[in-house]
């Protein structure tokens, strides 16, 4: 090689390098570091038990969001919210491990980034609570998924990369307790009994958070070594709250309030909403992440997206509320919705007859859960330590500033009547706006959708008269449902209205006794299986099992797995009356999945 050739080669290399850098600098790299199952129990959020130096450093270099939330308190529905920018109750994907399809026009948002030239990778978690195949999970949204590495991109290509850290996942506490921690000096929430197992589990949790903190630091160090930190906007957040019992899976702040830190590389500081080390009290939640990333990347946010960008050119005005949801958690059905402003949280429980502490196979692998149940059953718990094991109120209202752990329900306090009414209306408006599918039992998604998605079904007013169905649900699960209300509901032509009227008979057993003859007639006449199960449960609860139990047993074999799971839940709820169905439950357990989990536990509890 001549000197001239060598000089030309060096010049070309330098020129290519500068062009590559210029292309990369046209749009920011965006990197997400996501830790599993942890709320704001970090030093930078003022939590005294925390040891999180790298996250505290990141907070000092970026923006700390004080009011960031996961819309769902559990992973897969929360992740579905993130990847689509659409509320899962709007699509029927709010239940844990849903298999619902979504319409073709709703894309996983990295698809838009790829079309704009971004290299998109995901290193592990891809369970987005969607079906696989058409109308569900789209592998083409990523250049590389599972073990994805952003360094494989083309020279100068901007990247969007997700790095998920599983160290702090709930399963990390599914192990024998370290007895040396039985007297650990840790903060115990007022709803947990102060016993050695509880102290040890909390102390173990803090240890794994510290381990996770180091792993976040290693990812940030890698960015520096690669020389791309100045061109990268880094988001750190927890994938929901958790993990100690009454946090993950529940709509309290311990289950939904997440840490979120955003650091802007030096070349993108002009996009930051404040100086390094500052805080933002804007209400943000997972529904907002997709539009925010698209906004930062200069990609137009699609019209169907229900969230709002909180950064970039498409940033919107600060929202007034955050909306939260809870559906089926693994093998147990529940239905709650919540709305929160900066101070108050309102929760509406549409299944007040189901206790918070419904047995979940996975949750009961944690020593703390078993210790808490033991203490409750032995009569050694008091006040808020009892609530988890008892029927829920239909409405809850908390002042989160005065009552961080949310143990003082203000819903019945006249002094807060205006706040209750305001938040109640905000929830009503939201449910109408997104066409909340929660008022349909999960089994009906498949039985009624047929050739269309649940998203499309719930937007058909003839098929799903939401206002009418919701009105019956509000009445039936509220404190004052009358026999006339529920009688009219049970004879309504719409199966959704009938379902909630039947559910009201479970909530209001005195009314169920008054309507017992109608319930018996309805049992044989009802065409909708989920409504038939609700009628049967109501009859069992008023000791009329002769006709009801065989019907529940029959529906345990239903071809629709969610109808069968509903039947399994009912058998658990009716207690000793389910003993005659033990052979059927043992047979159903062979079906596997959540039906197996539910039936095996009920058989075990009945001592059979």
Residues acting as catalytic residues: 75
125's CB contacts (< 8 A; 6+ apart) are 34, 75, 79, 162, 164, 239
Instruction: Copy the structure tokens of residue 286.
Output: 């997972």
380's CB contacts (< 8 A; 6+ apart) are 193
Instruction: Copy the structure tokens of residue 447.
Output: 């039985």
Structural element, H or E, at residue 573: helix 561-573
Q: What is the distance between the alpha carbons of residues 264 and 273, in angstroms, rounded to a whole number?
A: 10
222's CB contacts (< 8 A; 6+ apart) are none
Q: What is the CA radius of gyration of the chain?
A: 26
264's CB contacts (< 8 A; 6+ apart) are 62, 63, 233, 271, 272
139's CB contacts (< 8 A; 6+ apart) are 145
Helices (H), 479-528: 483-490, 495-507, 509-514, 516-525
Query: Running DSSP on this structure, what letter comes out for residue 493?
Result: S
258's CB contacts (< 8 A; 6+ apart) are 38, 39, 40, 68, 69, 70, 237, 238, 239, 240, 241
Structural element, H or E, at residue 264: strand 257-264
């Amino acid at each position: 090689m001549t000197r001239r050739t060598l000089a030309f080669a060096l010049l070309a290399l330098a020129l290519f390098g500068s062009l590559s850098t210029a292309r990369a600098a046209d749009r920011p790299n965006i990197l997400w570091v996501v830790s599993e199952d942890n709320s704001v129990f970090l030093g930078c959020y003022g939590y005294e038990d925390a040891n999180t130096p790298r996250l505290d450093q990141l907070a000092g270099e970026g923006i700390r969001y004080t009011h960031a939330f996961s819309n769902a308190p559990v992973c897969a529905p929360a992740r579905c919210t993130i990847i689509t920018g659409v509320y899962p109750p709007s699509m029927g994907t709010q239940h844990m491990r849903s298999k619902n399809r979504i319409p073709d026009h709703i894309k996983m948002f990295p698809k838009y980034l790829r079309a704009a030239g971004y290299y998109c990778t995901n290193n592990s978690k891809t369970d987005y609570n969607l079906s696989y195949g058409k109308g569900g999970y789209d592998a083409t949204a990523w250049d590389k998924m599972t073990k994805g590495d952003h360094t494989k991109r083309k020279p100068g290509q901007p990247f969007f990369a997700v790095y998920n850290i599983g160290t702090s996942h709930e399963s990390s506490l599914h192990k024998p307790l370290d007895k040396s921690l039985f007297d650990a000096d840790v903060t115990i929430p007022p709803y947990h009994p102060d016993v050695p197992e509880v102290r040890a589990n909390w102390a173990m949790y803090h240890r794994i958070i510290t381990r996770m903190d180091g792993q976040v630091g290693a990812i940030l160090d890698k960015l520096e070594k690669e020389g791309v930190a100045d061109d990268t906007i880094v988001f750190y957040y927890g994938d929901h709250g958790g993990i100690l019992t009454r946090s993950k899976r529940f709509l309290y702040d311990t289950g939904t309030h997440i840490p979120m830190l955003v650091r802007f590389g030096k070349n993108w500081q002009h996009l930051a909403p404040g100086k390094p080390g500052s805080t933002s009290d804007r209400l943000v939640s997972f529904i907002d992440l997709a539009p925010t990333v698209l906004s930062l990347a200069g990609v137009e946010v699609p019209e169907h997206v229900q969230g709002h960008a909180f950064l970039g050119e498409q940033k919107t005005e600060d929202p007034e509320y955050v909306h939260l949801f809870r559906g089926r958690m693994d093998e147990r059905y529940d239905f709650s919705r919540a709305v929160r402003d900066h101070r108050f949280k309102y929760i509406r429980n549409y299944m007040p007859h189901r206790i918070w502490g419904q047995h979940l196979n996975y949750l009961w692998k944690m020593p703390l859960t078993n210790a808490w149940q033991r203490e409750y059953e032995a009569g050694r718990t008091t006040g808020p330590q009892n609530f988890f094991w008892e029927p829920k109120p239909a409405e809850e209202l908390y002042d989160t500033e005065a009552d961080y752990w949310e143990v003082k329900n203000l819903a019945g306090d006249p002094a807060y009547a205006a706040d209750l009414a305001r938040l109640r209306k905000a929830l009503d408006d939201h449910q109408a706006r997104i066409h909340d599918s929660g008022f349909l039992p999960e089994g009906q998604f498949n039985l009624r959708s047929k050739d269309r998605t649940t998203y499309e079904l719930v937007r058909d007013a003839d098929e799903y008269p939401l206002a009418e169905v919701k009105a019956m649900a509000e009445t039936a699960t509220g404190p004052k449902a009358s026999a006339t209300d529920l009688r009219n509901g049970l004879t309504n032509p719409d199966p959704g209205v009938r379902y909630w009227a039947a559910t009201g008979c479970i909530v209001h057993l005195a009314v169920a006794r008054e309507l017992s003859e109608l319930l018996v007639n309805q049992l044989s006449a009802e065409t909708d299986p989920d409504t038939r199960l609700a009628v049967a449960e109501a009859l069992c609860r008023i000791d009329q099992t002769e006709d009801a139990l065989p019907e529940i047993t029959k529906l345990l074999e239903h071809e629709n797995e969610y109808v069968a799971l509903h039947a399994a839940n009912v058998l658990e709820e009716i207690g000793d009356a389910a003993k005659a169905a033990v052979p059927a439950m043992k047979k159903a357990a062979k079906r596997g999945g959540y039906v197996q989990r539910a039936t095996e536990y009920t058989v075990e509890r009945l001592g059979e």
